[in-house]
Amino acid sequence: MDIKRVLVTGASGFVGRPLVDALLRAGYAVRAVTRRAVAFPPAVDAQIIPDLKDPIDWAPFLQGVNVVIHVAGLAHGHAANERYSEFDQINWFGTQQLAQAAKAAGVGRLVYISSVRAQVGASAEHPVRETDEPQPTNYYGRSKLAAETAVAASGVPFTIFRPVVIYGPNAKGNMGSLLRLARSSLPLPAASFTNRRSVLGIDNLISAIIFALKNPATIGETYLIADPVPVTVGEILSILRVARGRSLTTLRLPLGLVRMLLVLAGRGDLWSRIAGDLVVDTGKLEALGWRPVKDTAQGLAAMLNDEGARAPMMRQVL
């Protein structure tokens, strides 16, 4: 059987880098496209592309490519003050251009890494399922939903993933604040938070992507993706401290006081991301046979091991 060539956008990033390595291990030929020169393993065909805000002639990059995995995009955790038009330019129009080019090039599959925020806000009163009507609540989410629509309209065979917040080595963002707290020796108000949040280990996301590539039943479908069991903020902090050989001393403070303290510290945005429930149902993908390769405790511990002496952080992509 011929080896499939996979083009990965955003290949030097938080998701892209380990994805490239996993694809190589799985036997795929990989073309990695980035905006700047990056060192990859010798087997990787590395290419430099312009910024996604600019028109790109994708034809040379797509030559001989069987599958595109589109990871690159403007993440709202890194661009909270960006204008709506910039989310449109990169997440929507940039994705639309790539999808249309992939269709013209005869690419067999486009896997688009969207976000749960294309479907829902920062919290939800019930478990979120793919059958729920999408109701994004910010510019980022609306741009990702528009990109999904553009992918489907392009005519290229596609699979869309809507991941929840992703954690793993070298990530950044608002959830990093929780991990910095976990590294401290201070008592924390973890007991105040009993709400549950779905999170996603990078290894589980990558396993779902490779599972989809090997399963034709995923073509034309959209999937929510998360770790097996949602967790509370206190559980995350406890897992991280135990993994570092420390215990967690918790405080139970009124939530109103916790919110006020975060606002005074200039982190009111963090409150909106951790205060409510956000649980997703991954039953649709699991019904095809996919299973997470690690639970959250294993994933967080592996993250710390991979980071070694470096300070671990989590990336907020939602």
Rounded to whole angstroms, how far apart are CA atoms 150 and 144?
A: 10
Cβ distance 117 to 140 under 8 Å?
yes
Share above pLDDT 90 across residues of the chain, in percent, rounded to a whole number: 61
Q: How many Cα atoms occupy the beta-carbon half-sphere of 226 within 13 Å?
A: 25
Q: Of residues 82 and 163, which shows the higher confidence score? A: 163
Average pLDDT of the chain to the nearest whole number: 85
Task: Delimit the domains of the chain by residue range.
Answer: 5-168+198-228+280-292
pLDDT at 248 over 70: no
pLDDT at 312 over 70: no
Class of domain 5-168+198-228+280-292: alpha beta
Model confidence, pTM:
0.88
pLDDT at 259 over 50: yes
Cβ distance 97 to 146 under 8 Å?
no
- Cβ-based neighbours of 47, under 8 Å, separated by 6 or more: 31, 32, 33, 34, 61
- Tens of pLDDT, residues 36-83: 999 999 999 999 999 998 899 999 999 999 999 999 999 865 444 556
Cβ distance 46 to 34 under 8 Å?
yes
Q: Of residues 124 and 169, which shows the higher confidence score? A: 124
